[in-house]
């Protein structure tokens, strides 16, 4: 389903390079979660890539890349490292360094980097900016109003219907969205966001509550050109049956049987392409991975949110299905060279996140994890580490989400059975997981 919209007037402003010159490319991946592990894994399959660094990485990534003890927000140090090591391409995983301008900084120094400018990253970092672009381009999304004043917001919410969705207008590590099921809950959330400044001083977007299955549509974007990737569905709630608190994602799978080819065309033509155009017209062309968090509502497909980077944990189930060379795909975006054909395996991939007990609330770290070698003997299984480190030669838990166990299969249920069998072999005293990932399609 390759899509190619040629727009001659847009040329990336960074340096360009021909792939023949970089047969032995050195790549730096910024970040240290499951998404970055999946990106490192995909890069390790490239015929062009000779050496991969990852900053800061984790215990799993360390088996496939050299980990550098720099945080993703240490952009000065990362640039210094990239220049010193003659890195050919830097790929940024998380949104925080992108919003802080890591891509602008690298490009200004003449370094090739995959990721949008800080201005283009506002599609994720500012909910009101994203809404304005969508409104201007007629992109279907929930109706909304933006407020800075608590009393005005409260009056509007009281006059409207419940449930209502309240979104803090800035990066809030996934905690800035409240789906209020009662007027009291809405009032408390508004107080939190506008009176107590829980996430800092800012605006709140009050949004219409939509219903329907959500899905994640990621695409490579350069200016007005859009190349869609395979679809995935995330599971945000902590417990089975989509109950419990929202998390960073407890599992995912790809492809999605409930999304039709017409849905895909609609999402590309009416959502992804117009937003890429909107950013271009705004003077901040997007260069990197644009993530559409979409919902198939009874009134059609609508946008829930945009992200300016690969989704986590969607990347861990999408990239294992990729049959094309990811380095050439990244290079096409960075250099403005032709995009190779993007091919996908027919296999289904599903992944279960193993999280520390207590997550997304308080949890403790440092528990030993056993049984990983045994699990990896099955070629259909891949494990992407999310929050792990090594102590005394043992892999230990080091985060809320610890690892994602993925498996491929000819059908989703075969993949699910393989993944759950693998999960059953992993021994650790402090982990839990959902058992119903993929339930919407099984």
8 Å CB contact between 368 and 17: no
**What are the residues facing 216 on neighbouring strands?**
232, 293
Among the candidate windows 3-11, 57-65, 181-189, 205-213, which touches ligand AMP by CB under 6 A? 205-213
Count CB atoms within 10 A of the CB of residue 211: 10
- The verdict on 210 binding ligand AMP (CB under 6 A) reads yes
Is 314 a binding residue for ligand GLY by CB under 6 A? The answer is: yes
Beta strands at 348-356 and 431-432: parallel, antiparallel or unpaired: antiparallel
Query: Could you tell me the sign of the dihedral formed by the alpha carbons of 198, 185, 214, 148, in that order?
Result: negative
Residue 175's closest CA among 183, 184, 166?
166
Assess 436 for contact with ligand AMP (CB under 6 A): no
Distance CA 342, CA 442 (A): 27
d(Cα 254, Cα 113) in Å, to the nearest integer? 27
Q: How far is the CB of 257 from ligand AMP (least distance, A)?
A: 20
Cβ–Cβ contacts within 10 Å for residue 421, how many? 14
Q: Which residue in the shown chain puts its C-beta closest to ligand AMP? A: 305
Q: Min. distance of Cβ 58 from ligand AMP in angstroms?
A: 24
Judging by DSSP bridges, how do beta strands 177-180 and 144-147 pair with one another?
unpaired
Contact partner, 207, from ligand AMP, ligand GLY, none, Cβ < 5-8 Å per class: ligand AMP
Q: Which of 71, 77, 85, 214 binds ligand AMP (CB under 6 A)?
A: 214
Kindly tell me which of 48 and 253 has the beta carbon lying closer to ligand GLY. Answer: 253
Per-residue binding letters, 121-150, with ligand AMP (x by CB under 6 A): ---------------------x--------
We find the least distance from the C-beta atom of residue 427 to ligand GLY, in angstroms, to be 28
**Span interacting with ligand GLY, options 73-81, 197-205, 305-313, 330-338, rule CB under 6 A:** 305-313
Q: Are 310 and 33 in contact (CB under 8 A)?
A: no
Cα–Cα distance measured from residue 270 to residue 373, given in angstroms and rounded to the nearest whole number: 46
Q: Is 311 in the site for ligand GLY (CB under 6 A)?
A: yes
Of 118, 63, 108, 45, the residue nearest 82 (C-alpha) = 108
Q: Does 205 bind ligand AMP (CB under 6 A)?
A: no
Q: Does 207 bind ligand AMP (CB under 6 A)?
A: yes
Please state at what angle helix 118-125 crosses helix 273-281, rounded to 10 degrees.
130
DSSP structure string for 159-200: HS-SSEEEEESS--TT-SEEEESSHHHHHHHHIIIIIS-BTB
Q: How far is the CB of 169 from ligand AMP (least distance, A)?
A: 11
Closest contact distance (angstroms) between CB of 306 and ligand AMP is 9
Which 188-247 residues touch ligand GLY, going by CB under 6 A? 234
- The nearest distance, CB 214 to ligand GLY, in angstroms, is 10
**In this complex, which beta carbon is closest to ligand AMP, that of residue 173 or of residue 377?**
173
Residue 307 interacts with which of ligand GLY, ligand AMP, none, CB < 5 to 8 Å by class: ligand GLY
**Dist CA 231 CA 216 (whole Å):** 6
In angstroms, the CA 93 to CA 175 distance is 19
314 binds, among ligand GLY, ligand AMP, none (CB under 5 to 8 A by kind): ligand GLY
Contact between 17 and 6 under an 8 Å Cβ cutoff? The reply is no
Judged by CB under 6 A, the residue of 36, 104, 312, 347 near ligand GLY is 312
406 touches ligand GLY (CB under 6 A): no
Distance CA 177, CA 205 (A): 9
Interface pick for ligand AMP out of 51, 137, 145, 236 (rule CB under 6 A):
236
* Residue 249 contact among ligand GLY, ligand AMP, none, beta carbon within 5 to 8 Å by kind: ligand GLY
- The angle that helices 150-159 and 183-190 make with each other, rounded to 10 degrees, is 160
Tokens of 66: 């050299």
Task: Give how many residues touch ligand AMP by CB under 6 A.
Answer: 14
- The binding track of 236-265 with respect to ligand GLY, each residue x by CB under 6 A or -, is -------------x----------------
| Interface with ligand AMP (CB under 6 A) | 142, 165, 167, 177, 179, 207-210, 214, 236, 293, 304-305
Chain residues binding ligand GLY by CB under 6 A are 234, 249, 307, 311-312, 314
């Amino acid at each position: 389903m390759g899509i190619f919209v040629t727009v001659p007037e847009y040329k990336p402003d960074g340096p360009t390079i021909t792939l023949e010159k970089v047969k032995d490319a050195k790549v730096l991946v910024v970040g240290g979660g499951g998404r970055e592990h999946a990106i490192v894994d995909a890069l390790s399959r490239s015929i062009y890539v000779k050496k991969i660094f990852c900053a800061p990485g984790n215990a799993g990534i360390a088996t496939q890349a050299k980990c550098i003890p720099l945080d993703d927000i240490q952009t000065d140090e990362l640039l210094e490292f990239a220049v010193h090591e003659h890195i050919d391409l830097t790929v940024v995983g998380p949104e925080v360094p992108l919003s802080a301008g890591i891509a602008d900084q690298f490009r200004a120094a003449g370094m090739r980097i995959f990721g949008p400018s800080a201005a283009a990253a506002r599609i994720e970092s500012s909910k009101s900016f994203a809404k304005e672009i969508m409104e201007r381009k007629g992109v279907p999304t929930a109706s909304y109003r933006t407020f800075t004043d608590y009393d005005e917001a409260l009056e509007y919410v009281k006059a409207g219907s419940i449930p209502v969705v309240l979104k803090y207008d800035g990066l809030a590590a996934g905690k800035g969205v409240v789906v209020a099921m009662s007027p009291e809950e809405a009032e408390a959330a508004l107080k939190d966001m506008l009176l107590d400044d829980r996430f800092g001083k800012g605006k709140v977007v009050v949004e219409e509550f939509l219903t329907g299955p959500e899905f994640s549509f990621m695409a490579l974007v350069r200016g007005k050109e859009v190349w869609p990737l395979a679809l995935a569905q995330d599971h945000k709630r902590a417990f089975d049956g989509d109950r419990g608190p929202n998390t960073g994602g407890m599992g995912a799978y790809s492809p999605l049987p409930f999304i039709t080819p017409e849905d895909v065309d609609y999402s590309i033509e009416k959502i992804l392409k117009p937003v890429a155009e909107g950013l271009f017209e705004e003077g901040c062309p997007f260069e990197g991975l644009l993530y559409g968090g979409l919902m198939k509502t009874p009134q059609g497909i609508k946008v829930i949110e945009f992200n300016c980077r690969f989704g986590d944990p969607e990347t861990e189930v999408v990239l294992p299905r990729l049959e094309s060379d990811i380095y050439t795909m990244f290079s096409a975006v960075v250099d403005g060279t032709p995009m190779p054909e993007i091919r996908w395996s027919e296999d289904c991939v599903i992944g279960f996140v193993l999280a520390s007990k207590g997550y997304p609330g308080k949890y403790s770290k440092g528990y030993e994890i056993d049984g990983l070698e045994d699990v990896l003997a099955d070629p259909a299984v891949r494990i992407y580490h999310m929050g792990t480190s090594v102590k005394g030669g043992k892999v230990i838990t080091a985060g809320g989400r610890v690892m994602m166990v993925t498996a491929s299969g000819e059908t989703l249920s075969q993949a699910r059975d393989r993944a759950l069998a693998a999960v059953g072999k992993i021994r650790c005293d402090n982990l839990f997981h959902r058992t119903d990932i993929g339930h919407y399609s099984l």
